[in-house]
Amino acid sequence: MNFFEYLIESNMFSSIVVAVVATFLTFQLSIRKFRSERWWELKIVAYQRIIEALHYSKEFSNRFIEVEEGERTITDEEEKRLREKSRKANEEILKTIDIGIFLFSDEAIERLKQYEKDSYESSKQEFWSDYLNHDWDVTNSCLVDLIKLAKKDLEGTQQK
């Protein structure tokens, strides 16, 4: 009796086949789970960045509204910092609209596009205070909506 005949007769062959198939399937499931978890982590970071950008945009309007209403004053340094953060936030938002389709839900992208249009309307305001109030309203509305959309999107893709 040769080695192969021995394997077949002793049921070792079927045990080896089962072990190989089980190993292959386990490996495939592990890779799929890893990719899914990694994708979910990337989405969290992307949503965090856009929500943070909206926060900084809102902070700009909020601080200057307080100045307009006489509730506070700001230094030249603080004004410079606020303007720089707002500029970077706007760049982040525009970048996300252009390339966020890979990570964000369709609803989130559409909401950001609406934000871009609404923000443009803010720039048409005749008075500084009107601009600030309109911009704050537009940004706050988008921020609230995007947080809800992010939760919905992330819950839908979260691995259990």
- The yes-or-no verdict on residue 12 having pLDDT over 70 is no
Say how far residue 63 (Cα) sits from the centre of its chain: 26
- Can you tell me the distance from the alpha carbon of 155 to that of 150, in angstroms, rounded to the nearest whole number? 8
Long-range contacts of 74-77 (CB under 8 A, 24+ apart): none
pLDDT confidence of residue 160: 43
Helices (H) and strands (E) in the chain, counts: 5, 0
- The yes-or-no verdict on residue 152 having pLDDT over 80 is yes
DSSP letter, residue 134 = H
Q: Are 145 and 111 in contact (CB under 8 A)?
A: yes
The type of residue at 140 is: N
Q: Are 50 and 96 in contact (CB under 8 A)?
A: yes
Using a 10 angstrom Cβ sphere, with 0-12 exposed, 13-18 middle and 19 or more buried, the burial of residue 141 is: middle
Q: Which of 9-18, 25-34, 132-141 has the lowest mean pLDDT?
A: 9-18
pLDDT confidence of residue 13: 67
Tell me the whole-structure pTM to 2 decimals.
0.76
DSSP letter, residue 56 = H
Query: What is the token pair recorded at 125?
Result: 């305001």
The type of residue at 59 is: E
Q: What is the pLDDT of residues 15-66, one digit of tens each?
A: 777 888 888 888 788 877 777 778 888 889 999 999 999 999 999 999 999 9
Q: What is the mean pLDDT of residues 101-123?
A: 91
Q: What is the pLDDT of residues 52-109, one digit of tens each?
A: 999 999 999 999 999 999 988 999 999 999 999 999 999 999 888 888 778 888 999 9
Please tell me the number of Cα atoms within 13 Å of 155 on its side-chain side. 6
Q: What is the mean pLDDT of residues 127-135?
A: 95
pLDDT confidence of residue 146: 96
pLDDT confidence of residue 150: 94
Q: What is the mean pLDDT of residues 122-129?
A: 92
pLDDT confidence of residue 103: 85
